[in-house]
Amino acid sequence: MNTGNKVELSVVQDEEKRILELISGAKRVDIVSAWVTPTESFWKLVKRAEREDNFFNLLVGTSSDGTDPQIFTILEKVPGASCKVPSQELIKSGSFHPKLYIFHGVKGQDIVLIGSMNFTNSGLHKNKELLIELRGNISDLEKWFHDIWLDSNPIGPEELEKCRLAWDGRGNSSNDTDKESSNDGNILSQKKKIFSSWRNYKIALEERAQFLTAEMKGQNEQVVLGKNDIWTKLILEAKKVLESKKWSKKSGRVLVGNIYPYKPFGNMRGNRKFCGVMVNSKDPILRDVVRKTLEKFKKLKVSHLTPEKRAKVVCFYLTKLCELDSVGISSATRLLTLTRPDLAFSYNGSSSKNLNFLGGIPTDERTEVNYQKLLEMFYSTKWYQSEEPKYPGPDKLIWKCRLALIDLLVYEHNNGH
């Protein structure tokens, strides 16, 4: 390691991987970015800041339409995070455009990343960016951040509304390559458009599938949804399991998702006790109770029910599963989803934030009450109530799995889905 006034620098090759490593080792993080959208790195900062005081400072620009306004709502509820926007004095002569990442106290030293990359999905995954890592005497950069932080303010209601309007209308004004387009992982902000019709929902699924195909390196997803992709293929595998009179180890793995390619819809690999029951039959009585509960759920006829009554019936089965030993809401909703992909969706630690955001639920908690509220909302949307496609093929299969595939839009992907 260099000492004195010397600075050591290197080019960062895998931006998000390196940022995630630095977040894990840092005692405090300061970030300045012209635009910000929720990314895996962003959520990791949030989780650290939920547990540690004064962990994360974010200074973000709101010019143009590159900043997702939900970050302000998220961070205002996180005790260890502070978020500001530049003052009018800072931006009076032009756009706010810096990108600076300072990680304090990583193995006894401060590390800086600086370059062209905004803290967005496009910056981290899509664009060709240049990011330089600096070690050594970085006091000038720390002073620069300190000074600009003091000259900035929390976002006000008027500016937040402008940010929301710009974000909702993005894509219509500028051709900047860092724009967060509809297939870059920020589908959630377009929820009104997605839920307005079956066609828009299907387009959103296909764009998200294309995005994940690029992200999930080494796995063989298809870009277009249908019987050959891992999501609907898993549902078809589960259908065979649920119709079989004899369950094998593979049957259990399909349902709990503890190995690839059965992981979509919230795998239960972390729930070792329940995996033991389902895969290795360590408690055959419990396994039989699960089986019988799912058989009854599969036969449900609810088309005549209102969204509210339909959600109540589904949550009756959710409660029955959650009452069993070692079955939590993540495990239960996965089983219900694979049994009736038209009626249930997976509600797990990697999807609950975005699902609750979709439903306007001001918490990240996974509860049966929140699940019921989300079901009522989804059942009431035009895309869900759309008519079944007339002809056999991928569209018909997607329609039959339409609620389960919400997972494709909301899951916080980390190459392990």
Is the pLDDT at 394 greater than 70? The verdict is yes
Q: How far is CA 152 from CA 58, 86, 115, 228, in A?
A: 11, 5, 22, 51
Torsion sign (Cα): 113, 119, 123, 124: positive
Q: In what order do the strands lie in the sheet with 131-136?
A: 7-11, 131-136, 109-115, 99-106, 28-33, 56-60, 81-86, 152-153
Query: What pLDDT does residue 146 have?
Result: 94
Say what the pTM is.
0.57
164, 66 Cβ separation under 8 angstroms: no
In the three-class reduction of DSSP (H, G, I as helix; E, B as strand; rest coil), residue 190 is classed as: helix
Dump pLDDT digits (tens) for 328-387.
999 999 999 999 999 999 999 888 888 888 887 877 788 999 999 999 999 999 889 998
- Mean pLDDT value of segment 234-238: 93
Hey, what's the torsion of the CAs at 196, 198, 202, 204, to 10 degrees? Answer: 0
Residues 6+ apart with CB under 8 A from 151: 86, 87, 89, 90
Q: What is the percent of the chain with per-residue pLDDT over 70, rounded to a whole number?
A: 87
Residues 206-233: what's their mean pLDDT? 64
pLDDT, tens only, 241-286: 999 988 899 999 999 998 888 988 988 888 889 999 999 989 999 9
Predicted local distance difference test score (pLDDT) of residue 191: 66
> Residue 110 in contact with residue 103, Cβ under 8 Å?
yes
The winner for highest mean pLDDT among 106-115, 154-163, 347-356 is 106-115
